[in-house]
Amino acid sequence: MFMAAVAVLAACAKVNPDPVPDPVPPSPPVPDPELVYPAPEPDEDSFVRAAYFPYYGSFDAGSFPDSMFRYIDVAFYAFAQLQDDYTVKLGSASVASTVVDRCHRNNVKVVLSFAGNWLDKRFTTLSCSAELRNRFVNSLMEIVNEYGFDGVDNDWEYPSSKDGSQRGNLLLMRQLSNELHAPGVGKTLSMAITPGIYEGAYTAGLDHGVFDCCDWFGSMAYDDDQPHSPYSMMEKSFQFWVEKNKMPLKKFIGGIPCYGRGSRSENKWDKSKSYRNLVLNYGADPDADEVVTDGYVTNYNGRKTVEKKVQFLLSKNAGGYFFWEADQDMKDERSLLRTASATVDSAKPE
């Protein structure tokens, strides 16, 4: 009787149909990328002449003649835009194809620039995540290879020491350097940087480890108050990055604007006007630096200031210069790109 009762109880006992599995050990953390392929040592005789070519510009043969390409060595195609899924998309595939084709036919390298800004925190998010960095880099490299770009330019604007993106940008640039500088690839990597005239989180946001990753750093020595891009700004930027922070001399390229701005104090700073517009529609003197426009003063860089800035960079044996941006220039003897290039040519030994 006792045995029968035990048998009944055993038959009625609940059997757990879903036994608790053994705990799964956590995945090991993904190691931070190391810099395997740094940028090659720059040629001591090199001096880069560059300009940005934005996707909204006019770069067909009728608007931008072939003769203009003789004044540059490198074109930065702007921009590849970050998407919500952390991939990138070209701003105007058709303009990109035109710029790449025309640059290569005129022996000019063309580099793909990806854009950000300090209000968009997605770059901070992606740079601090190995998974998202990989997705971003893979997407970027697909476009580089599909269109035949000769390199990549980081125009984040800007990593910061306040939010962890300083470290994230270093890791991102290591990954890009390993892709672009790998044996047999032979592409370039550059980065647009703050001019450094105001020290803070953005100047500190450029980890010095990035110096080894890049071929060039483009100092955006413009967009201050009125005048927004004086000669002294180029001097101060060079002093900050090269002399104080020990950026390799030949990796510093100074930025020169092809546009003018009004004064912040008059609430006219955001009313920028292209150099071409100033000359053609406001009677600006190509050799001066200011003109009255719509009742207020607009400051710009004329040919004499451009020549002086390029002479400064040459005297320091810096890496070169770049313009923002090519479509804003005149396309004749009043061209700022032409003036800068002629300044370089005149400094070459006979």
Long-range contacts of 303-308 (CB under 8 A, 24+ apart): 303/334, 303/336, 303/339, 305/230, 305/231, 306/256, 306/336, 306/339, 306/340, 306/343, 307/339, 307/340, 307/343, 308/231
Query: pLDDT of 120-145, one tens digit each?
Result: 889 999 999 999 999 999 999 999 99
Residue 155 lies in a domain: yes
Quick one: tokens of 306? 């451009």
CB of 252 closer than 8 Å to CB of 290: no
- Render pLDDT for 57-72 as a digit per residue (tens, 0 to 9): 999 999 999 999 999 9
pLDDT at 23 (0 to 100): 59
The whole-number pLDDT of residue 7 equals: 44
DSSP secondary structure letter of residue 69:
G
DSSP letter (8 states) at residue 70: G
In terms of C-beta density within 10 A (0-12 exposed, 13-18 middle, 19 or more buried), how is residue 325 classed?
A: buried
Q: Which domain holds residue 184?
A: 42-258+302-347
With CA atoms as reference, report the closest residue to 75 among 187, 151, 186. 151
Residue 104 lies in a domain: yes
% the chain with pLDDT above 90: 86
Rounded average pLDDT over 169-189: 98
Query: pLDDT-based confidence at 9, cuts 50/70/90?
Result: very low
Average pLDDT, the chain: 92
CATH number at residue 47: 3.20.20.80
What is the per-residue pLDDT for 73?
98
The Cα 267–Cα 270 span in angstroms is 7
185 lies in some domain: yes
The conformation of residue 242, written as its DSSP 8-state character, comes to I
Q: Is the pLDDT of residue 16 over 90?
A: no
Would strands 259-260 and 151-155 be described as parallel, antiparallel, or unpaired?
unpaired
Based on the structure, what is the number of domains in the chain?
A: 1
Residue 278 lies in a domain: no
Evaluate whether 48 touches 74 at the Cβ level (below 8 Å): yes
Please state, as a whole number, how many other Cβ atoms lie within 10 Å of the Cβ of residue 288: 15
Backbone dihedral angles phi then psi of residue 172, each to the nearest 5 degrees: -60, -45
| Residue carrying structure tokens 């880069």 | 48
**Higher per-residue confidence, 271 vs 312:** 312
Q: Would the pLDDT of 111 be above 70? A: yes
For residue range 284-331, list pLDDT tens digits in order.
999 999 999 999 999 999 999 999 999 999 999 999 999 999 999 999
| Structure-token pair, residue 204 | 């500190």
**pLDDT attached to residue 116:** 82
Q: Are 188 and 150 in contact (CB under 8 A)?
A: yes
Q: How far from 96 is each of 21, 90, 274, 291, 316, CA to CA, in Å?
A: 54, 8, 22, 34, 34
107 close to 118: Cβ distance less than 8 angstroms: no
Report the relative pairing of strands 88-90 and 188-193 from DSSP bridges: unpaired
The residue ranking higher by pLDDT, 349 or 287, is: 287
pLDDT of residue 226: 86
Query: Phi, psi (5° rounding) for residue 155?
Result: -115, 50
- Look at residue 264 and give its three-state secondary structure: coil
Pairing of strands 188-193, 151-155: parallel
Statement: residue 17 has pLDDT above 60:
no
| Residue 308 covered by a domain | yes
SS3 readout for 71-96: HCCEEEEEEEEECCCCCEEECCHHHH
Q: Is residue 67 part of a domain?
A: yes
- From first CA to last CA, the distance across the chain in angstroms is 119
Write down the pLDDT at residue 30: 65
Name the E strands within the chain.
Answer: 48-54, 74-82, 88-90, 109-115, 151-155, 188-193, 216-219, 252-257, 259-260, 273-274, 290-293, 296-299, 320-324
The rounded distance, in Å, linking the Cα atoms of 302 and 340 is 11
Q: Residue 27: its pLDDT value, please?
A: 52
pLDDT digits (tens, 9 = 90+) for 233-266: 999 999 999 999 999 999 999 999 999 999 988 8
Is pLDDT of 29 > 70? no
Residue 285 lies in a domain: no
Q: Picking from 17-31, 152-166, 283-297, which range would have the lowest pLDDT averaged per residue?
A: 17-31
In-domain check, residue 69: yes
| Phi, psi values for residue 162, rounded to 5° | -90, -25
What is the C-alpha separation between 132 and 129, in angstroms, rounded? 5
pLDDT classification of 24: cutoffs 50, 70, 90: low
